[in-house]
Structure 1
Amino acid sequence: MASRRDFLSSGAVVAAGFALAPLSACSREPASAAAPGASDSARADKPFSGTLLKRKIPATGESIPIIGLGTSGNFEIGDDAAAREPLREVLKRFVDAGATVVDTAPTYSSAEDVLGELVAAAKLREKLFLATKLSGVDGREEGLSQFERSLRRLRTERIDLLQVHNLRDTRTQLALARELKQQGKVRLVGLTHYREEAQEQLAQDMRALKPDFVQINYSVISRGAERSIFPLARELGIAVMINRAFEDGRLFAQVKGKPLPAWAAEVDADSWAQLFLKFVLSEPAVTVVIPATSKPKNQTDNLKAGVGAMLDAKQREELVAAVG
């Protein structure tokens, strides 16, 4: 997801970021486990069908699909031409399904370059809601220089959402983002973090600075955002983007070998991944979730979470218990 190495915005912990990289490679095979009694063919790579649900961005009134795409880890492939091929299919399936929101950052090593090349080659820019960040910089000039590099790397003249990453130099960088918005180079501005201990500060900044968007972690086992971020977002009219919905793959390990709940079909889900995403999306304050993948089959699986019913309160409680 977009947050797997979010802390890379601090140069002092870059090495730690790479130490965490194996977590993002956790197997998600249990996420494709079919309902009890289903055959392997039921877990085949079936085409996506249906219409993705959309939710409104309060600042503009525009609606965006609720399933997005993160680029941390999966798009950090440098010049590896072979690794680009599945990503081309990931993007194709994403856009063909009507999804639009792609989130990246200049501190996700080569992710902006790879995304920019793939989007340009497939002529997809006008079909995407492109989000990136001011990340790991201090002062207006550093932020501006980084933003200009991001435009070049992403091969675009505008950014749909420019976010201040991990609340670093927040007021200066958000002021710059708003300046770029006035210039027509940015449409919306936001604040991000990926850890629950940062949510108190994020809530303070939401109230004081009133960004258009916030991005924060939320999952079946990380529910801190329910206490402050979501109520405040509803009160202030701030859109919410969710990272780490799979806990960097750890959720799949926690349900390995378990059958799906009997009620999964009631919410149009046939995989654990879909249930984890629907849990996130059953929170009304959430606007979009951005799971990351480099596998086309998993992309289709993620997209399926964006159609049909979401979880009710009882189903949410039962899913929490199943993972615990």
Structure 2
Amino acid sequence: MATIRRRTLGTTGPEVSVIGLGAMGMSDLYGPADEEESVATLHAAVDAGINLIDTGDFYGSGHNEMLIGRTLRERRREEVVLSVKFGSRRTPDGGFQPVPYDVSPAAVKDRLAYSLRRLGTDYIDIYRPSRLNPEIPVEDTVGALLEMQQAGFIRHIGLSEVSAETIRRAAAVAPISDLQIEYSLLSRGPEASIIPALRELGIGLTAYGVLSRGLLSGHWRPDRQLTGNDFRANSPRFQGDNLEANLGLVDALSRVAERHGATTSQVAIAWVAAQGEDIVALVGARRRDRLSESLAAADLTLDRETLDEIEQAIPAGSAAGARYAAPQLASLDSEK
């Protein structure tokens, strides 16, 4: 079993495993999942040394938090660093309400109350708005989060998918532990201005989508059928010529991985972790076998020569298609 190293999220955040577990797929957006296997995977992750578990109150409209809460009842609370997002709103049929997101000060306190109950805990380690609402000053949202931190209901304040400018404004109100943002070999936008701003301010980065929704897993097949609620059915990178081009990039990465005795996904995860001691990688494993494969990335050291090989296989900006459909992309502060 791999040894999971720890890193501190920024200068004020908690110490977390270099690989964390993103739990969204256990409840939502990636097709059917087995609940018992999900709980077994959560336990296996913690047993292996993963302490960072990421969720959102809107994942499965609360189901994901209840799933994690079920797991927490069988663990010591201090074994887990819980990262929770709020703000996205759902509809009874499982859809999402149109933006803007509700990240008002009142929503901070209301949504937090429900999360604490579903998770069965009296505090959340990192609490963060899932997206920015341009009609609500980020200072107001962070100010309410600071009140909840001072009251002991949350330990740290995080951000998600916001620009360098917004990060600076938020950090002027309260210490920020980390920014959660999509970052992978196929999504390198944060390198331009966001990562430099984080490092200037002493804020960590929690990378999600490190396997680009499964594209970089080495397990994706072009003829895979997607169910109606699978996010990837409408993702530009999984459509037609885009998918063919992206799988060509993955094939090139797979050849690099094979030369180094690793799997494609392990190299993709290790690449993210190699981009700085202030970065941790979230993997979205829903089954123990996929988790086991991802865990091995923690012991994979990529030297300069291997990193250069990876860069040649998937150069920055080579991904075909945007990471979200146009309406979703337009709502992201991080893309502005």
TM class by shorter chain equals: 0.7 to 0.9
**In 2, Cα distance between equivalents of 1:242 and 1:76:** 19
- The answer on whether the counterparts of 1:277 and 1:289 sit within 8 Å (CA) in structure 2 is yes
Pair 1:100 & 2:51 matched: yes
SS at match of 1:240: strand
The CA deviation string for residues 54-84 of structure 1, in whole angstroms up to 9 with x for no partner, is 212333375321100112122349xx9x922
Q: Which runs of 5+ in 1 are unaligned?
A: 1-48
The CA deviation string for residues 103-136 of structure 1, in whole angstroms up to 9 with x for no partner, is 111111221111112221x224321000112324
Aligned to 1:167: 132
Alignment of 1:103-118 (within 5 A): 103-108=54-59, 109=61, 110-118=63-71
Pair 1:320 & 2:285 matched: no
Alignment of 1:110-129 (within 5 A): 110-120=63-73, 122-129=74-81
Find 2:85's aligned residue among 127, 133, 137: 133
**In 2, Cα distance between equivalents of 1:205 and 1:274:** 36
Give 1:180 shift. Answer: 1.0
Find 1:234's aligned residue among 199, 211, 222: 199
- The answer on whether the counterparts of 2:52 and 2:83 sit within 8 Å (CA) in structure 1 is yes
**In 1, Cα distance between equivalents of 2:25 and 2:290:** 15
Q: Which runs of 5+ in 2 are unaligned?
A: 88-100, 221-246, 320-336
- The answer on whether the counterparts of 2:256 and 2:310 sit within 8 Å (CA) in structure 1 is no
Find 1:261's aligned residue among 241, 255, 269: 255
C-alpha RMSD over aligned residues: 2.7
Aligned to 2:150: 182
**In 2, Cα distance between equivalents of 1:138 and 1:257:** 41
Alpha carbons of structure 1 residues 60 and 211: separation in structure 2 relative to 1, 3 Å: closer
- The answer on whether the counterparts of 1:75 and 1:115 sit within 8 Å (CA) in structure 2 is no
What percentage of residue pairs aligned between the two structures are identical? 25
**In 2, Cα distance between equivalents of 1:94 and 1:272:** 20
Aligned residue-pair number: 266
Alignment of 1:275-294 (within 5 A): 275-284=267-276, 286-294=278-286
Q: Which has the higher contact order (CA 8 A, sep 6+)?
A: 1
Amino acid at match of 1:100: N
**In 1, Cα distance between equivalents of 2:191 and 2:50:** 26
- The answer on whether the counterparts of 1:230 and 1:286 sit within 8 Å (CA) in structure 2 is no
SS at match of 1:162: strand
The CA deviation string for residues 264-318 of structure 1, in whole angstroms up to 9 with x for no partner, is 565xx62111111111111115431111121110011111111231353413313
Alignment of 1:10-25 (within 5 A): none
- The answer on whether the counterparts of 1:278 and 1:306 sit within 8 Å (CA) in structure 2 is yes
- The answer on whether the counterparts of 2:16 and 2:52 sit within 8 Å (CA) in structure 1 is yes
Pair 1:85 & 2:36 matched: yes
- The answer on whether the counterparts of 1:220 and 1:319 sit within 8 Å (CA) in structure 2 is no
Alpha carbons of structure 1 residues 59 and 276: separation in structure 2 relative to 1, 3 Å: same
- The answer on whether the counterparts of 2:2 and 2:295 sit within 8 Å (CA) in structure 1 is no
- The answer on whether the counterparts of 1:76 and 1:114 sit within 8 Å (CA) in structure 2 is no
**In 1, Cα distance between equivalents of 2:85 and 2:24:** 12
Amino acid at match of 1:113: M
The CA deviation string for residues 214-233 of structure 1, in whole angstroms up to 9 with x for no partner, is 11111111111111121111
